Structure 1
């Protein structure tokens, strides 16, 4: 009797999904349509601003080399390492900036929360595939490049961070 009841429950569960619209995408033919900003943190209100958690963008002119992003990442994924940069910035006397290993990153957003200078935030760019592990390590120069979007999405950078227009 119990095996027949289990069989009937399985048939009911499976038949429900025949009429429900598919939730997954057939990637790469179908891709996400971006609506809203990437994930950011507002320290004045002390809350995270919802958004997709994709590739990071680093604002070189705002980064002070304080290493708070790397410290926030230490106990989670250890994906952020501080590296010496060639360029000198007035606000970054140490001359170091974050480098992110996306092979280790879990996209938790704690590094964005930890940055008090709005120098680091996450975008909606989720396509980060690579053929080798070395290509998943993004240097500060690579992190400064805005992601290229298909369609009507454009990144607008202001004093508060970035928004998509």
Structure 2
């Protein structure tokens, strides 16, 4: 008798999910749409501004080469190294800027928190696939490129769970 009631409970549990829309996206044809900018930090207020933690973006005209991002990353992932740049910027006397190895990065956002000059932010660009480890190392020039893609699907959450519109 116990096995029959167990089967009935399993069928009831499975049948209630038939009416719920599927959550799975058919990537890469369907992609997420993130609301707002990526993760940022406001050093004046000392708080993080909510956002998706994806690929970094570096504003060359704001970076002073202070190396605080690299120091913040040092004990965590050691993904940021400072490299010499060809072009000189008046605020950057040392001529160095961060280079990020996404093979090591854990996307913690501490580098963004450490930057007092608003030069480093995290975008909502999450497509970082590469064929070799060397292609995961983003130079300061590559970090300056803004994300091109804005997704098409927004995640919604209600009492039934998470879903997206088609």
TM-score by length of 2: 0.80
- Aligned 8 A contact 2:34 2:151 in 1: no
Cα gap change, 1:11/1:70 in structure 2, threshold over 3 Å: closer, same or farther?
Answer: farther
CA distance in 2, matches of 1:33, 1:117: 28
Q: Is the 8 A contact 2:32 2:151 kept in 1?
A: no
**Offset, 1:22:** 2.3
Q: Which has the larger radius of gyration?
A: 2
- Segments ≥4 residues shifted beyond 6 Å: 1-9
Helix, strand or coil for the counterpart of 1:99?
strand
Label 1:98 to 1:18 Cα distance change in 2 as closer, same or farther (>3 A). Answer: same
Give unmatched runs, 5+ long, in structure 1. 153-165
State the shift of 1:4 in Å: 8.4
1:71/1:9 CA distance change after superposition, 3 Å = farther
Residues 14-93 of structure 1 mapped to structure 2, 5 A cutoff: 14-93=14-93
Aligned-residue CA RMSD in angstroms? Answer: 2.4
Secondary structure in 1 matching 2:89: coil
The aligned length equals 152
1:44-97 CA deviation, whole Å, 9 max, x = no partner? 211111111111111111111111111111121111111111111111111111
With the length of structure 1 as denominator, give the TM-score of the two structures.
0.81
1:131 aligns with 2:136: no
Residue deviations 1:133-156 (CA, integer Å, cap 9, x gap): 11110000111111112579xxxx
In structure 2, the residue matched to 1:115 is: 115
Q: Which has the higher contact order (CA 8 A, sep 6+)?
A: 2
Unpaired runs of at least 5, structure 2: 153-166
The Cα shift of 1:27 comes to 0.8
Q: Is the 8 A contact 2:31 2:151 kept in 1?
A: no
